Amino acid sequence: ADFTVLCCGGGNAAQVATGLFSIRYKTIAVSFYADEAAKWKAALGDEDFELTLPGGKVVKSKPHDITNDPSVAATANVILLVVPSHAHGEYFEKFAPYMKPGTIVACMPARSGGDILFSSKLGEKAKDMIFCGFETLPWACRFTEWGRKATILGTKNNILAAVSPATAKQAMAKLQGLLGVNPWVQDSPNNLGISLRNPGMIVHPGVMYGRWGPESWDGQPKDESPLFYQGVDEFTEKILIEMTDEAQAVARKAEQLVPGLDLSDACTLKQWYLDCYDGQMTDTSSLKRCMNTNAAYDGLKHPCKEVDGKHMPDLTYRYLSEDVPTGLCFAKGLAEIIGIPTPTIDKVMIWAQGCIGLEIMVDGKMTGKDLDKTRAPQGMGITTLPAFLLASKIPALL
C-alpha cells in the first residue's frame, strides 16, 4: 500500500504541510474544526495546491482527500498534527478507535506533555503507538489564498524532536524522510526533555505578567501597544529568571529521582536563546539583552485591542490561553508531584488563570475544576511519579 500521511488542521501550518507532503506521498488533510474540511475541499476544487518555497520556487501538488472523517486513520502510516496544541486532544481521541499498531503520531509543535495526553486519550492502545514531539514547527509559513496557496517564508536548520517509547528510533528516520533535508531533526532522548524545554511556557506568560500583572500595571490603557521582546525590562527579566530556574529545579530533581533519565535538553531560557538564535542577538550578556537585541523579534508588540483610540492588553491571547494550559500547567503539575516549590510560577499562574477564565490552582494546589482542560498530569488522573513515568513511557527502576 502507499505510504499514507494524515496532515491535521486547517490553518497556516496544516495547509503548508499538506502542500509539501502531497508532492511525494499519499496525503490526506483532516480537520475536525467546524466545517473547515468541507470549506477547504470546496475552495481547492479540482485545482492543484500551490506552495511557494523560500527563494520563490512554486511547487504544485494535490492532496488525496480533505476530510473530517476520523476513520482515515486506519490507513495512516504517519499522522502529523500541525495545529495549535489545544486541539491535539480532540485528534487523539477521534483517531484512537481506528489507528493500527505502529502508527507514528507527530505533533509540531508539541508544547508540553503531549506524550502523556496521548497515553491518556489512547488508553490500552497507547502502548502499540509511537508518539513524536517536535519542539517547534519547522517552517515560518502563511497561507496566501486560503485553501489554495501558501508560502514557506523560512525553514529552520535544526529542530529537536523525541519519540516515545525511546526505542522507536526508526520513527525518527521516517519523519526525517518526510521532511526532506531541511530541517535536520535532532534526536532528543525523551519527550519530557522537550516538554520542560518549551520556551513559550516561560516567555509568553512571564512577559505578559511582567507588563500587565498587578505588580506593574495600573489597569489604564496605553497610547501604544508596548514592544513584547524589546520592551522586556528588569522586572520582567526577574520574573522570567525565577520561572526558568523553577523549571530547572523540576528537571534536575526528576533526573535525581529517575536514574538514567537524561533531561539535558531541558535548558534555561537563556541557553535556549543561545542555542536557537545564535548570531541574531547583538548582546547576549543577560537574558534581558538576549530578548531586547534579537533581530528576529524586531518590532513585535504585545497583543492589544484598541479601545477609544487607546490600547488595552488582550489577556485572552494565545500567550496565555495556549501557553498556560499546554505549557506552564504541565511544568507546575510535575513540580507538585515531585515536591518542588514554584512560588513565581504560582504567582503567574494564579494571575493568568483569572485572565483566561480557568480554575487551575486552588489554595496553592493543582486541584482546580478545569485541570482536565490542561496538560497538568493531575488533570489526567496522574498524581504520582510512577504513574507519570508510565504515561511518559519512561522505563524507571522504581
Beta bridge partners of 187: 161
86 is catalytic: no
The interface region with ligand NAI, picked from 4-12, 96-104, 284-292, 298-306 by CB under 6 A, is 4-12
Q: Which is nearer to ligand NAI, 140 or 396 (CB)?
A: 140
Q: How far apart (Å, rounded) are the C-alpha atoms in residues 380 and 377?
A: 5
Of the candidates 184, 189, 159, the one whose C-alpha atom is nearest the C-alpha of residue 173 is 184
Residues 95-124 that bind ligand NAI (CB under 6 A): 109
36 near ligand NAI, judged by CB under 6 A: yes
* Residue 321 interacting with ligand NAI (CB under 6 A): no
Q: What is the spatial order of strands in the sheet that 49-52 belongs to?
A: 58-61, 49-52, 149-155, 139-145
Q: How far apart are CA 268 and CA 69, in angstroms?
A: 41
What's the N-to-C CA distance of the chain in angstroms?
43
- 33, 98, 146, 277: residue in contact with ligand NAI (rule CB under 6 A): 33
Nearest approach, Cβ of 134 to ligand NAI (angstroms)? 10
> 35: burial class by Cβ within 10 Å (0-12, 13-18, 19+)?
exposed
Q: Rounded to 10 degrees, what is the CA torsion of 344, 346, 351, 355?
A: 120
Rounded Cα distance, 384 and 392, in Å: 12
Find the binder of ligand NAI among 4, 6, 7, 12 (CB under 6 A).
12
Catalytic residue from among 86, 88, 204, 311: 204
Which CB atom, from 10 or from 368, has the smaller least distance to ligand NAI?
10
Do 125 and 96 touch, CB atoms closer than 8 A?
Answer: yes
By C-beta, is 323 or 346 nearer to ligand NAI?
323
Binding region for ligand NAI (CB under 6 A) out of 3-11, 167-175, 237-245, 361-369: 3-11
84 part of the interface to ligand NAI, by CB under 6 A: yes
In the stretch 335-374, what mask flags binding to ligand NAI with x, by CB under 6 A? Answer: ----------------------------------------
Chain residue at closest Cβ approach to ligand NAI: 11
Q: Is 10 in the site for ligand NAI (CB under 6 A)?
A: yes
Q: How far is the CB of 130 from ligand NAI (least distance, A)?
A: 21
Beta strand segments in 45-138, E: 49-52, 58-61, 65-67, 78-81, 104-107, 130-134
Nearest alpha-carbon partner for 115 in 386, 396, 380, 296: 380
The distance of closest approach from Cβ of residue 321 to ligand NAI in the complex, given in angstroms and rounded to an integer, is 10
Sign of CA dihedral 332, 135, 55, 143: negative
Based on the shown chain and the rule CB under 6 A, indicate whether residue 141 belongs to the binding site for ligand NAI. yes
Cis peptide bond upstream of 109, omega within 30: yes
Which residues ranging from 13 to 32 are in contact with ligand NAI (CB under 6 A)?
A: 13-14, 31
Q: Which residues contact 24 (CB under 8 A, 6 or more apart)?
A: none
Cβ 109 to ligand NAI shortest distance, Å: 6
Cβ 238 to ligand NAI shortest distance, Å? 26
Active site residues: 204
Residues making contact with ligand NAI (CB under 6 A): 9-14, 31, 33, 36, 82-85, 87, 109, 136-137, 140-141
